[in-house]
Chain A
């Protein structure tokens, strides 16, 4: 018992000390992760509720890229090009967004348990998206924009509630998130139940579902790229802030500016993800932690590596969700929670 506590303490201290990050190590890590992404990508495109030969899949995608007409049957061409491919791309976008948002919140709040789902930010985004759908059905772009506003407002409220005169404790912040999450979820349920007609189901909003429309993919991808870039450009500032805001100030980091940019960018990422797929949980929690365990906590590595690893993880989770009980589908949140909840419990025990 005592040796285990001692060992975990050593491990957590070691985890906190950034390993020296060289350009070479960054390059190798990202290349390995991208290779993995590619492999999982091919796998995800190859399998689905309908059995389609890998050669056919490759032919359809090659045809789509070169603009020629595929020799596959029209149904198979349609399934691969208009259903599976957009869905896989959507999973990549959403997974990258949620993982980077999680990494950003963890660094900003200096709290290992911070995650868009646990902090209630995802529910805030869902509430924004639903409100937009109810009132402005005509403009599809309004959905991610409203979700962004919902996310930004929620994190502001949770942050204020989590503060204390002696600075916010980790538990206080998480508790504030849990309570706000419960409140917002109830409002989501109320709105979806009363608005009724042609709304995504309550369950899909609250635990996530990737089967929705993919028309928003270009807009969402733009939002996500912007958000990740903004956070990555502030990675060095985040590194210094992790050791303490005063130290960072001394070292010449404009902490207020970094904080504001990263908060807004993380909210943008959460909003974009939730607007198309509902509040998928745990991705923002487990991915950055796995990345830190493997490669140290330098945010210049954690941010891009989380993006690629998150994309891979969510793509895999979605492939499971749409194939394990085919032709029926599972909500993707079921899969991410099965992996994520044990990791959360492990982290909770380790940090407290």
Chain B
């Protein structure tokens, strides 16, 4: 109130002049405060999985992972020692829990990431944190975005991250192992029927898995057909009517099976007791253990197939 009055007494032009000089001063202060943006001594250019070109240090030694799948991949690639920060979700492998936490369950703490002198931050679109990265890049910390939308892209992503952290050989070995296990599932299911599958992330309201997500692909590769592929959206709020009308034969839930809504107990899956709660971490993290999730899901969808 009083400020406004002051401006008035100086007249319009004076006010505008003041404002301009204030903005200028603020801008100068901001520039002075921002960290050294000059490129690291030895650096290289890399294109991330969203096609963004980023400049990263030759040998990133203080990596921050903002997704459990990324943390798992980095440890599997043998560079766990170079991981400086993880999220509070990152609980595998057990050593990961000893790392500094830079994010709670809601969003990463930018100050903490800067505070631990991160020289590379890796995020995944699967954890939906990518909107926070602009702040990091503004602070001169390179951000690599991983964007696996299906199983093949999970493998590609691990290969790319191998290149990113200079662990190409380990990545090649890891990916070929994963590939072999995926192929084994594929060939076992070559002539199998494809039952209708409903994957539920929540019940009030019903939240399902839409097309274009790696979980949708996981269901397909495990020999099922997701009934909610065409719903639109990645994790749509879904109609109970449609869920019942589509007569799912297998239902996977990410909560206690006993809490399945009453009306879904009347579906073929409910009547045949084919409602399963798989280990959430194995099926919802697009990392190295996704093949464990694939195998477990395939066994549940196809108990008739002889798995060795």
Residues of A within 8 A of B (CB): 48-50, 75, 78-79, 82-84, 193, 197-201, 204, 209, 211-213, 215, 322, 325-331
Contacts and interface: CB of A to CB of B under 8 A. Distances in A.
B262 to A, nearest CB: 7
A134 to B, nearest CB: 14
B245 A79 contact: yes
B259 interface: yes
Contact of A211 (B205, B231, B232, B255): B205
Contact of B241 (A79, A197, A209): A79
Contact of B242 (A199, A200, A326): A326
Contacts of A84: 241
B204 A213 contact: yes
A197 B202 CA distance: 9
Given A198-B255, A200-B204, A212-B204, A50 B106 contact: no
B76 to A, nearest CB: 27
Given A83-B263, A204-B204, A215-B262, A328 B231 contact: yes
B262 A211 contact: no
Interface of B: 105-106, 202-207, 228, 231-233, 236-242, 244-245, 247, 255-256, 259, 261-263, 266
A78 B238 contact: no
A61 to B, nearest CB: 15
A74 to B, nearest CB: 8
A215 B239 CA distance: 18
Contacts, number: 83
Contact of A75 (B236, B239, B245, B262): B245
B245 A211 contact: no
Contact of B244 (A75, A193, A212, A213): A75
B263 A329 contact: no
A229 B229 CA distance: 47
Nearest to A84: B241
A326 to B, nearest CB: 6
Given A50-B241, A50-B242, A79-B244, A329 B205 contact: yes
Contacts of B228: 327
Contacts of A330: 237
Nearest to A48: B241
Contact of A329 (B203, B238, B261, B266): B238
B231 A327 contact: yes
Nearest to A189: B106
Contact of A212 (B205, B231, B247, B259): B205
B205 A204 contact: yes
A49 B205 CA distance: 15
B248 to A, nearest CB: 12
B245 A198 contact: no
Contact of A201 (B204, B233, B238): B204
Contacts of B236: 327-328
B202 A201 contact: yes
Contacts of A75: 244-245, 247
Contacts of B242: 49-50, 326-327
> Interface centre among A212, A215, A325, A329, by most B CB within 10 Å?
A329
Contacts of A198: 203, 255-256, 259
Contacts of B207: 201
Contacts of B204: 199-201, 204, 209, 211-213
Contact of B206 (A48, A197, A211, A326): A211
A344 B233 CA distance: 32
B244 A78 contact: yes
A329 B261 CA distance: 17
A287 B236 CA distance: 31
Contact of B232 (A48, A201, A328): A328
